Amino acid sequence: MFIALSIVLAVALGASVLKILSHRRAVRTLQQAILLKQPLLREDLPEAAGPAWEQLRIAGNELITEVGQLQQQRTGQLAQLEATLGSLQEAVLIVDASNCILLANQALQAISGRVATRIIGHRLESVLHSAEFLAYVDSVRLGKAQPQHAVELVEAGQTTWLEVTGTIIHSQGSSRGPWTLFVLHDITKQKKLETVRKDFVANVSHELRTPLSIIKGYVETLVDGREDIPVEDRERFLKTIQRHTERLNSLLEDLLVLSRLESINPGLKREAVEIPALLTSIIDDYRNRPAAAGHRLELEVDSSCGTVFVDALKITQAVENLLNNALQYAPKGSRVHLTARQQDLGEIIVTVRDNGPGIPAADLPHLFERFYRVDKGRSREKGGTGLGLSIVKHIVQLHGGRVWVESRLGEGTAFSFSLPLRGKSDA
């Protein structure tokens, strides 16, 4: 009797264990299906699991399909938003209430230097290192921001100027709101141009002020002193006035030349010019000038140099500016060498070399800037305007060429420019 009871109990226990195991397998299968978002087939569940599991499978499948549809919809919307923002030139950024980046478009990469999709989820302060920008973000949240605010951003030693506009988005149902949307416009180019313009006006005013105040002073002395001034002093005053008037005149002339070269229509009159003939006539003309007395002027033109399509007057001016400098800065007795040679790249290289004092290496990168002088006093004393090399650069660049300088202190200086050799039709 006891044995029979034991057998019945053992069978019942075995059946229960099997049932538990099959339920456990069914739970695992369902869990896996939800995780992978893959609907379950009837045969995926163990048969022994029972009809309640079949209802659970159907309900689970419905949920999985619904979630899939919602996800597809969201991905589509995001893709649409990203495509729209991606085509914008302006950088767009959305942050939540704790400055966590929710959205950033492609254009932001140019500003932050980081791929837009990789900054999503990061904090704003770790992406754009600007206390000024963060202060602006706060002022937008407080509703106290100006509509367009310029902020300076320094990343890896490079300064970028941004015009930022921010607005609050009241995101419904989000615990991380309100969100703030920013449109950032890169205005670095405009800022740089503005600085160049301001510097230029300041430089011109400075250059005009000195000779004008000297002229004014001497004229006043002459007018007030009348007959009391000895004749020799009067003559000396007049000569000084003359010198400074000439300086003003050359400054205005150079400024006019520069402004014409920088205008939309610089009036380039290209024609076929034989480089050897042009350089020979320039050197012949210089040999008769008093400024060249005491210098050794030499010309060396490679026989391969032929015809270029250039504005002869402008190229003459560029060569003359370089020759004038060599004659001015290299002492009497120095050698001034004008050469031209053809380079494989299809360009002619013209060089003016002197064995004068040379130029310190630190000054070389700035020489072609307007009003840049190595020795300000010496340049002014020699009647220099500080614009000669800038004019050379503009003329050469208008012809599609390059300018450069090589110099060693105590050994001399060589200024070179290239002129592309192109067919007449390209000119």
Interface with ligand ADP (CB under 6 A): 325-326, 329, 354, 356-357, 359, 367, 372-375, 379, 384-390, 413
Minimum CB–partner distance for residue 337 and ligand ADP (Å): 12
- 82 or 375, CB closer to ligand ADP? 375
CB 52 within 8 A of CB 69: no
Minimum CB–partner distance for residue 241 and ligand ADP (Å): 21
- 57 or 314, CB closer to ligand ADP? 314
Minimum CB–partner distance for residue 370 and ligand ADP (Å): 8
- 125 or 253, CB closer to ligand ADP? 253
CB 98 within 8 A of CB 180: no
Q: Kindly state the tokens that stand for 7.
A: 């057998």
Minimum CB–partner distance for residue 166 and ligand ADP (Å): 45
Minimum CB–partner distance for residue 336 and ligand ADP (Å): 9
Minimum CB–partner distance for residue 119 and ligand ADP (Å): 46
Look up tokens 């020799």; give the residue. Answer: 232
Angle in degrees, CA 203, 367, 190, rounded to 5: 55
- 112 or 379, CB closer to ligand ADP? 379
- 162 or 350, CB closer to ligand ADP? 350
Minimum CB–partner distance for residue 351 and ligand ADP (Å): 12
Strands 335-343, 347-354: pairing kind: antiparallel
How many CA within 13 A on the CB side of residue 171? 13
Strands 91-95, 179-186: pairing kind: antiparallel
CB 260 within 8 A of CB 266: yes
- 180 or 324, CB closer to ligand ADP? 324
Residue 99 backbone zone (phi > 0: left; psi -120 to 50: alpha; other: beta):
left
Q: Kindly state the tokens that stand for 84.
A: 């729209």
Look up tokens 């290289």; give the residue. Answer: 349
- 49 or 327, CB closer to ligand ADP? 327
Residue 136 CB contacts under 8 Å (≥ 6 apart), including other chains = 145, 149, 151, 164, 166
d(CA 279, CA 276) in angstroms, rounded, equals 5
